[in-house]
Amino acid sequence: MLRPTIDFLLYDWLQADTLPQRARFADHSRETFGSVLDAAERLAREKFAPFNRLVDTEEPRFDGEKVILPQATHEAWKAFGESGMLSAAQDYDIGGMQLPYLVETAANAFFAKASVGIGGSLLTVGNANLLMAHGNEAQRRVFALNEFSGRWSGTMCLSEPQAGSSLSDVATRAVPDGDNFESDALGPRYRLHGNKMWISAGEHELTENIIHLVLAKIPGPDGKLVPGTKGISLFVVPKKLVDAEGRLTGERNDVALAGLNHKCGWRGTTNTLLNFGEGRFKPAGRAGAVGYLVGRPGEGLRCMFHMMNEARIGVGLGAAMLGYAGYEASLDYARQRPQGRPITGAPSAPTSAPASGTPAFGKDAAAPQVPIIEHADVKRMLLAQKAYSEGALALCLYGARLVDEQHTGAPEAGAEAALLLEVLTPIIKSFPSQWCLEANSLAIQVHGGYGYTRDFPVEQYWRDNRLNMIHEGTHGIQALDLLGRKVVMQGGAGLKLLASRINATIERAGHVQGLAEFATQLGGAVQRLGAATKAAWATGEPAEALANATPYLQAFGHVVVAWIWLDVVLAAQAAEAPRRDGSLAACRYFFAYELPLVDAWLKVVSSREAVCREMLDEWF
Amino acid sequence: MLRPTIDFLLYDWLQADTLPQRARFADHSRETFGSVLDAAERLAREKFAPFNRLVDTEEPRFDGEKVILPQATHEAWKAFGESGMLSAAQDYDIGGMQLPYLVETAANAFFAKASVGIGGSLLTVGNANLLMAHGNEAQRRVFALNEFSGRWSGTMCLSEPQAGSSLSDVATRAVPDGDNFESDALGPRYRLHGNKMWISAGEHELTENIIHLVLAKIPGPDGKLVPGTKGISLFVVPKKLVDAEGRLTGERNDVALAGLNHKCGWRGTTNTLLNFGEGRFKPAGRAGAVGYLVGRPGEGLRCMFHMMNEARIGVGLGAAMLGYAGYEASLDYARQRPQGRPITGAPSAPTSAPASGTPAFGKDAAAPQVPIIEHADVKRMLLAQKAYSEGALALCLYGARLVDEQHTGAPEAGAEAALLLEVLTPIIKSFPSQWCLEANSLAIQVHGGYGYTRDFPVEQYWRDNRLNMIHEGTHGIQALDLLGRKVVMQGGAGLKLLASRINATIERAGHVQGLAEFATQLGGAVQRLGAATKAAWATGEPAEALANATPYLQAFGHVVVAWIWLDVVLAAQAAEAPRRDGSLAACRYFFAYELPLVDAWLKVVSSREAVCREMLDEWF
């Protein structure tokens, strides 16, 4: 079911087959894209999906020496590395496939759906991409290339126990490592001391080495750390030291596992507290973890955030695919499970005052039971899952297409794509995280009691998906980013651009029989969203505007996904009947049941409702 | 925090101190109620709360002979039985305390909050209450009394593997046990054959015996089972056979554990598949589990549903208390966790077009971090939890007060209370199940990454709470019950009665400074709810009306809880400042952020939106 949907979105909607017209993708064609998707689908089916429950029950554990993961995880990682997927988007001359990011993203969807917990490629690719953009020649060659090959893996070390979302409070210190610190072939060499929390894939034996990208502060001349985010620099810190040719020196760097986090879900991946420079190891006889500066001092956050849009698309896609997995599972269950009978006319008509307790509807008890998919409320739960998860998938692929446009489009189109992506990224991250979690809850509900047992996969999808509103910038952080930064930057240029794209869809839909009403409804919602944005900022007081940033984020997300659905339905007009009618039904569902929520959420935004920010501690 | 809230709701809101004016409660006073609550609070704190995580990690297991539960569970059950709580509401002459149901419910709140998984009293009390109402003298004396004393425990066996929510498909057979089957001292004796699924506390060694109440069908003269619910009878089936004096005969009845369900949460309680009469045991040398008819043949469902309102209040209360537990935990965390700084004016005003990526707000990075409770979005998440869980608790206590009114009020008031309870029961069950689950998700979110680990209690609350939308009638069943039965029965008398109660609150609030706006808003919502009810049934076609029963249920629930909050706030006018201001803030939150959702939900109800019921299988 997923493959035809992805093919439809790629080709019928996003015209991926026009990408090979661009020089970078000239060797590609729908055929080569198809082979990549075939391979990904097969690998995910054979090496990931069968072990998704296993990695949930056999949680990572530390035996005092090493972190133990199931053998299946080792095999999945090995196969994934060998498939070339890690460097799918890279240049040919470093062994890549020069695939569009769109196709890479589509291929990754199969792994996320098969086992979001096993798949640890996201961080490694993001890490290596960052080094390709900001590292020096040796860092690219030694670290990035060995990550793309699957020989080593990567992490992103941002949070600290005392500083989760608040990166300005990073307290990890990096001091120059000796007088000749600037002459190391791998970059200016520092010694790091500090603790990093929530580090996914921070310790394991899946790869020969682990390459940590670490945010830390270089003390000023007074020995103090610079407050705020401006003082943050970025370092590459390998678990095991390597020489300038990428050979292990045999010496262990001072990066020590301080603890494994025991999570509610997503248990296939280790999540760790790491100590840098605690003294367990003493590389070259001296204290501190060896780290090489990436980019310039003080530009750590800029380098890190360069990769953030793509990382957040990755989170959105993972959430969307968990939603989709639950949708498939519950659809399958609903088709097979006989239970109950169709609702028929009442034994007594409802207007004629039935006696106490008598229902106003009947059922023919002598008829055979029907599969539960025939009940309207079950169809409602399935349609909601379809609308959330397919809508989220389409949104993520749209975002990935913007990344390609940004990198390979004509200058003006590229700049537009970059701007639009800035505005949409908080939505691409937050909508799937919130609503595909809800989809997973509905998947449980469709299963009834069975869904609450570990004999069916849906409760795990739900637990796994709960992470996505937390990592890579919490839901609240996305909301601040959207209302406090993205919609106001450049005088609101991003918001205007998005509105013009939405209006183009509205314009097209307005001329299509059966879609005009959606066009009108969406047009009104966009107008009210714009008005609410203005009203939120009317006093120019950030504390007043941003107190309702989260309801704003939700309203914005629903408007965007309503637009995505309408645009998808336009593309589906020419598709075969089940695709056309199914897309239309999901769109109808979204406009009837979901889009009206926007007005409720915008109410508090527009009125700058103050009850939350005025609430006092002692009133709780 | 919970105790003062309960005291406020009991006395300042529900006037529990007037109950001792009634003959049944004449020996009671606020003082005796207080002693019961003190004892419950202490017992819950000492014997339940400390073991809540333990019962999650040490799931019940079957060693081939017996079901193994943690020692702590045995001790908690023993202490609970000895406390007299099991018979709190019973007559003095059978060892009860003649407590109002309201006070019993309030006392149970402490256990539900401490460990919803350990606490298994609900089913035992419900089982014994049912036998007191419908059993014969011997059944009451032998089974019910030994359950009230804590010597034995009880279950409710309704569902079967092929018939979950669809009770008309019950296939368990009960045939008369010999020619003299009607002369057994314990009631007409039958032999049962069948399988029962989802039986909570269906097998364990916590008590000397387990008393199953089992729905089964007695075959007609043709040997066939009667289709539909009319053919269902009720039987009491002890795990171990007993004589007419309640002594174990030493013979095992043929009730065999076929499997333990492995659940996502709520792991302190066994949930079982039981086989009746599979032949593992042969009581008196014959096949079939021995069961004694309760009430008359064919009246099984009527007897069972007699207890359903109270069982559903119990589920609602459990959900509310899980919500409350997460609220307390996240409030505590938010007060202690320093992170980030207050939002200040922008570095550049938002209207002056900040450069790309520059936020329209600032933070003083040199200032110390503040506890996260000072951030508006965290306060929003805490206020939502307070509004959901305290609102749900108040709703459940209101329902419990109606039970008392039904049983001890003057005839007319009692009849009114019974009618109102019929209408409110689906809300008392569904609102807490849905929204206190959402509260638990917010509790995780307040904790950030920590909330997703098993080092903090909130992820377990969230997993535990997910059951409540499923058991004791799924969410969808509650919706059908409300829209298909409760609001139309007796010509809509229940709905009219509820509206008159709500309007009385509106009338009072309309005259209070600061509350008039809420009164107006609620009045409009009630009117639109009434209009939507009519519109849903306008065609008289149950299939059209009921396709949107779930959105209707949600809208109805939000209107009811808005009313509850406004009524609570009226009572809080005279309370001390934090209670008064805190209640008002929660009410403001609910009216500003939640009540507007009602219109979105009612839209599909009023228009009898057909997209769900018209959806075809092949379009998914």
> How far A176 CA lies from chain B's nearest CA (Å)?
25
CB pairs under 8 A between A and B: 340
Q: Shortest CB distance from A592 goes to which of B357, B383, B609?
A: B609
Asked if A451 is an interface residue toward chain B (Cβ–Cβ < 8 A), one would say: yes
pLDDT at B464: 98
The mean pLDDT value for B365-384 works out to 95
Residues of B with Cβ-Cβ distance to A331 under 8 angstroms: 620
Q: Which residues contact A487 (CB under 8 A, 6 or more apart)?
A: A423, A494, A495, A533
Residue of A229, A611, A618 to mutate for B, most B C-beta atoms under 10 A: A611
A273: burial class by Cβ within 10 Å (0-12, 13-18, 19+)? Answer: buried
pLDDT tens per residue across span B188-230: 999 999 999 999 999 999 999 999 999 999 999 999 998 888 8
Assess whether pLDDT exceeds 90 at residue B375.
Answer: yes
Q: Shortest CB distance from B353 goes to which of A363, A448, A490?
A: A490
What confidence tier does A229 reach under pLDDT thresholds 50, 70, 90?
confident
Q: Shortest CB distance from A359 goes to which of B471, B485, B540?
A: B485
CB-based contact B466 A444, cutoff 8 Å: yes
Assess whether pLDDT exceeds 90 at residue A445.
Answer: yes
Asked if A619 is an interface residue toward chain B (Cβ–Cβ < 8 A), one would say: yes
pLDDT tens per residue across span B410-460: 999 999 999 999 999 999 999 999 999 999 999 999 999 999 999 999 999
Assess whether pLDDT exceeds 50 at residue A348.
Answer: no
Amino acid in the structure at residue B544: E
> How far B329 CA lies from chain A's nearest CA (Å)?
12
> How far B597 CA lies from chain A's nearest CA (Å)?
5
The hierarchical CATH code for the domain B1-119 is: 1.10.540.10
CB-based contact B449 A197, cutoff 8 Å: yes
**CA B498 to CA B494: how far, in whole Å?**
6
CB-based contact A542 B422, cutoff 8 Å: no
Amino acid in the structure at residue B398: Y
Assess whether pLDDT exceeds 60 at residue A354.
Answer: no
CB-based contact A382 B164, cutoff 8 Å: no
Lowest mean pLDDT among A450-464, A586-600, B304-318: B304-318
pLDDT at A534: 97
Stretch 392-431 of chain A: residues touching chain B, C-beta under 8 Å: 422
What confidence tier does B346 reach under pLDDT thresholds 50, 70, 90?
low
Residues of A with Cβ-Cβ distance to B232 under 8 angstroms: none
The mean pLDDT value for A102-121 works out to 94
Asked if A356 is an interface residue toward chain B (Cβ–Cβ < 8 A), one would say: yes
CB-based contact B542 A338, cutoff 8 Å: no
> How far A248 CA lies from chain B's nearest CA (Å)?
34
Asked if A98 is an interface residue toward chain B (Cβ–Cβ < 8 A), one would say: no
Tokens of A77: 């990682």
The mean pLDDT value for A390-408 works out to 97
Asked if A331 is an interface residue toward chain B (Cβ–Cβ < 8 A), one would say: yes
CB-based contact B376 A331, cutoff 8 Å: no
pLDDT at A357: 54
Residues of A with Cβ-Cβ distance to B437 under 8 angstroms: 441
Indicate if the alpha-carbon torsion angle B595, B600, B606, B608 is positive or negative: negative
Residues of B with Cβ-Cβ distance to A596 under 8 angstroms: 599-600, 603
Residues of A with Cβ-Cβ distance to B553 under 8 angstroms: none
Assess whether pLDDT exceeds 90 at residue A6.
Answer: yes
CB-based contact B360 A609, cutoff 8 Å: no
The closest of B76, B99, B217 to B153, measured between CA atoms, is B76
Q: Shortest CB distance from A353 goes to which of B341, B362, B490?
A: B490
The closest of A322, A384, A360, A308 to A109, measured between CA atoms, is A322
pLDDT at A349: 42
Q: What percent of chain A has pLDDT over 70?
A: 98
Residues of B with Cβ-Cβ distance to A441 under 8 angstroms: 437, 466
Spell out the domain ranges in chain B: 1-119, 154-297, 307-342+369-473, 489-620
Q: What are B397-400's contacts with CB under 8 Å, separation 24+?
A: B397/B6, B397/B9, B397/B10, B397/B14, B397/B102, B397/B105, B397/B106, B398/B14, B398/B424, B398/B564, B399/B309, B399/B313, B399/B316, B399/B424, B399/B425, B399/B428, B400/B101, B400/B102, B400/B104, B400/B105, B400/B106, B400/B313
User: What integer best gives the mean pLDDT of chain B?
Assistant: 95
Q: Shortest CB distance from B262 goes to which of A377, A455, A612?
A: A455
Assess whether pLDDT exceeds 70 at residue A4.
Answer: yes
Asked if A368 is an interface residue toward chain B (Cβ–Cβ < 8 A), one would say: no
Asked if A609 is an interface residue toward chain B (Cβ–Cβ < 8 A), one would say: yes
At CA A117, angle to CA A113 and CA A118, rounded to 5?
Answer: 90
Interhelix angle B411-447/B308-336, nearest 10 degrees: 30
Lowest mean pLDDT among A299-313, B283-297, B594-608: A299-313
> How far A251 CA lies from chain B's nearest CA (Å)?
33
CATH number of A153-297: 3.30.70.2740, 3.30.310.50, 3.40.50.2000, 2.40.110.20? Answer: 2.40.110.20
Lowest mean pLDDT among A2-11, A356-365, B103-112: A356-365
Could you tell me the CA-to-CA distances from B99 to B2, B26, B130, B600 in Å, in that order? 20, 10, 18, 42
pLDDT tens per residue across span A44-89: 999 999 999 999 999 999 999 999 999 999 999 999 999 999 999 9
Q: Shortest CB distance from A611 goes to which of B263, B479, B585?
A: B585
Stretch 35-64 of chain B: residues touching chain A, C-beta under 8 Å: none
Could you tell me the CA-to-CA distances from B233 to A543, B219, B307, B358 in Å, in that order? 63, 11, 15, 71
Question: How many CB atoms lie under 10 A from the CB of residue B93?
Answer: 7
The mean pLDDT value for B540-561 works out to 97
Q: Shortest CB distance from B542 goes to which of A360, A466, A592?
A: A360
CB B400 within 8 A of CB B105: yes
The mean pLDDT value for A470-486 works out to 96
CB-based contact A448 B474, cutoff 8 Å: yes
pLDDT at B358: 65
Assess whether pLDDT exceeds 50 at residue A340.
Answer: yes
pLDDT tens per residue across span A284-323: 999 999 999 999 999 999 999 878 888 999 999 999 999 9
Assess whether pLDDT exceeds 90 at residue B363.
Answer: no
CB-based contact B166 A340, cutoff 8 Å: yes
Tokens of A260: 């494994």
**CA B376 to CA B379: how far, in whole Å?**
5
Q: What is the phi-psi region of residue B295: left when phi exceeds 0, alpha when psi lies from -120 to 50, beta otherwise?
A: left
Assess whether pLDDT exceeds 50 at residue B134.
Answer: yes
Asked if B578 is an interface residue toward chain A (Cβ–Cβ < 8 A), one would say: yes
The mean pLDDT value for A601-618 works out to 98
pLDDT at B350: 40
CATH architecture of the domain A307-339+370-473 equals: Up-down Bundle (1.20)
Q: What percent of chain A has pLDDT over 90?
A: 92
Assess whether pLDDT exceeds 90 at residue B553.
Answer: yes
Interhelix angle A516-536/A597-606, nearest 10 degrees: 20
What confidence tier does A230 reach under pLDDT thresholds 50, 70, 90?
confident
pLDDT at B347: 52
CB A199 within 8 A of CB A261: no
pLDDT tens per residue across span A500-557: 999 999 999 999 999 999 999 999 999 999 999 999 999 999 999 999 999 999 999 9
Beta bridge partners of B213: B156, B236
**CA B164 to CA B174: how far, in whole Å?**
19
Stretch 541-560 of chain A: residues touching chain B, C-beta under 8 Å: 541-543, 545-551
Class of domain B307-342+369-473: mainly alpha
The mean pLDDT value for A591-612 works out to 98
Gyration radius (Cα) of chain B, Å: 26
CATH fold for domain B154-297: Butyryl-CoA Dehydrogenase, subunit A; domain 2 (2.40.110)
Question: How many CB atoms lie under 10 A from the CB of residue A165?
Answer: 18
CB-based contact A448 B470, cutoff 8 Å: yes
Asked if B335 is an interface residue toward chain A (Cβ–Cβ < 8 A), one would say: yes
Choose the catalytic residue: B104, B203, B472, B594.
B472
Assess whether pLDDT exceeds 90 at residue B360.
Answer: no
Q: What percent of chain B has pLDDT over 70?
A: 98
pLDDT at B600: 98
B90 compared with B348, residue with greater pLDDT? B90
Stretch 452-491 of chain A: residues touching chain B, C-beta under 8 Å: 452-455, 459, 462-463, 466-467, 469-471, 474-476, 479-481, 484-485, 488-491
Closest chain B residue by Cα to residue A607: B592
CB B424 within 8 A of CB B547: no
Amino acid in the structure at residue B202: G
pLDDT at B310: 86
CB-based contact A578 B618, cutoff 8 Å: yes
Active site residues of A: 472
Q: Which residues contact A417 (CB under 8 A, 6 or more apart)?
A: A402, A403, A405, A406, A409
Assess whether pLDDT exceeds 60 at residue A351.
Answer: no
Assess whether pLDDT exceeds 70 at residue B401.
Answer: yes
Tokens of B344: 């200040």
